Amino acid sequence: MSREYQNGDGFGYLLSFRRQGSTSWQTARVPGADAQYFVYSNESVRPYTPFEVKIRSYNHRGDGPESLTAIVYSAEEEPRVAPTKVWAKGVSSSEMNVTWEPVRQDMNGILLGYEIRYWKAGDKEAAADRVRTAGLDTSALVTGLHYNTKYHVTVRAYNRAGTGPASPSANATTVKPPPRRPPGNISWTFSSSSLRIKWDPVVPLRDESAVTGYKMLYQNDLHPTPTLHLTSKNWIEIAVPEDTGHALVQIRTTGPGGDGVPAEVHIGPKLSLASILVPRGCDVACTQLYQKGDAESRKPSSKV
């Protein structure tokens, strides 16, 4: 407290405190205007015990007015209980999902969350990587893992004082990576109201995960918001408006190992079928050839 408010010599602070729920107060004198804290030591006090505290100043002429009562807690200690029923499963080539049963709020402090530790089979736990949850969620997605690799996993509760004991370990194995080859031999045809795209199926190698389907991202320059389409076949047909412009199309595999490398093609604007003279019986490749020739004929001439 600054000198102007001390009103005399012999300045200090008088603390009154008691465990919450107790009837009797204890007092302590802390001399000196610069004093900012008081440490009360008692081996019988449990971690994170609430105390009621009041404080007043004093000098040689007597005591000043008393403050309002504040609630102050003794120091926290690490949680004493470990999470149970830890379960882990690889969900892609670089991710695993971890779940567990929560610990009860013990009396050592306020539970802030959980810490997941994970390490490769064959490595020591001391080399484990760590990730913490923010809050009291009882599941977490761990990312950035190596593909087709077995991991050991433990979970610990933590508070401001530190982490508690580890749970029994669980095991999880990430899956093989997706195929490294994009879909190839992509072709497409327009009808009056749709666009049909097909490609050669991607066959995974022995060290790659299975292909369960394909994802196609379609973005038209007249309608720039991209749309995602899924199919389990090696072709897809989508509705397109009559005034469709140039389109960017990305096609990639998907499966348990995640998404593969995309193949990208640019598709020119849809031409009016009435403006294209296509011979009767013309197949898909023939139709595309006539559409290409018609588009070339529509380019402005550079000759004067």
Query: Exposed/middle/buried for 81, CB within 10 Å: 0-12, 13-18, 19+?
Result: middle
- At 2 the pLDDT is 58
Question: What are the structural domain ranges in the chain?
Answer: 3-73, 84-173, 184-270
CATH 2.60.40.10 fits 184-270, yes or no: yes
Per-residue pLDDT of the chain (304 residues; tens, 9 = 90+): 555 555 567 788 999 999 998 999 999 999 987 888 889 888 888 888 999 999 998 888 888 889 999 999 998 999 999 999 999 999 999 999 999 999 987 668 889 999 999 999 999 999 999 999 988 899 999 999 999 999 999 999 999 999 999 999 999 999 999 999 999 999 999 988 899 999 999 999 999 999 999 999 999 888 778 999 999 999 999 998 777 778 999 999 999 998 999 999 999 886 544 333 344 444 444 444 444 444 443 344 334 3
pTM over 0.75: no
Alpha carbon distances (Å) from 91 to 95, 115, 205: 6, 20, 20
Looking at CATH, the fold of the domain delimited by 84-173 is given as: Immunoglobulin-like (2.60.40)
- At 7 the pLDDT is 59
One-character DSSP codes across 95-156: -EEEEEEPPP--TTS---EEEEEEEETTS-GGG-EEEE-SSS-SEEEE-SPPTT-EEEEEEE
Q: Tell me if 3-73 shares its fold with 184-270.
A: yes
Question: Could you say which architecture CATH assigns to the domain 3-73?
Answer: Sandwich (2.60)
